[in-house]
């Protein structure tokens, strides 16, 4: 993932910077939190963009977690 001279597609003003973020999402009714996920983050509006490879890897972690394998994700109940 390269952020060289990329402008934010949301605010059209900020620059995208490579960062490690904590990614949160709802999966099968539960909040899944994954630390240290590489992303491009806008320095103005805070928009976070994950590339296809990262999304594929996150999906793989969720699939492993569903079948009882250990992963880097933490599961928390979500109402």
7-26: pLDDT as tens digits: 999 999 999 999 999 999 99
Alpha helices (runs of H) in the chain, residue ranges in sequence order:
52-66
Q: Which domains does the chain have, with CATH numbers?
A: 16-77 (3.10.20)
Has this prediction a pTM greater than 0.85? no
Token pair of 45 as six digits: 């509006």
Q: What is the pLDDT of residue 27?
A: 87
Secondary structure element (H or E) that encloses residue 55, with its range: helix 52-66
Percent pLDDT > 90 in the chain is: 56
Query: What's the average model confidence in pLDDT over 34-55?
Result: 95
Q: Do 8 and 16 meet the contact criterion of CB atoms below 8 Å apart?
A: yes
Q: pLDDT band for 67, please (50, 70, 90 cuts).
A: low
Query: What's the average model confidence in pLDDT over 31-49?
Result: 95
Comparing CA positions, the residue from 13, 8, 14 lying closest to residue 49 is 8
The Cα 61–Cα 54 span in angstroms is 11
Which backbone phi and psi does 66 adopt, to 5 degrees? -65, -30
């Amino acid at each position: 993932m390269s952020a060289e001279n990329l402008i934010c597609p949301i605010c059209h003003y900020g620059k995208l910077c490579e960062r490690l973020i904590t990614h949160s999402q709802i999966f099968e009714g539960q909040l899944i939190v994954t630390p240290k996920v590489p992303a491009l983050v806008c320095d103005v509006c805070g928009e976070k963009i994950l590339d296809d490879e990262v999304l594929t890897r996150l999906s793989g972690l969720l699939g492993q977690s569903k079948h009882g394998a250990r992963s880097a994700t933490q599961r928390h109940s979500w109402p």
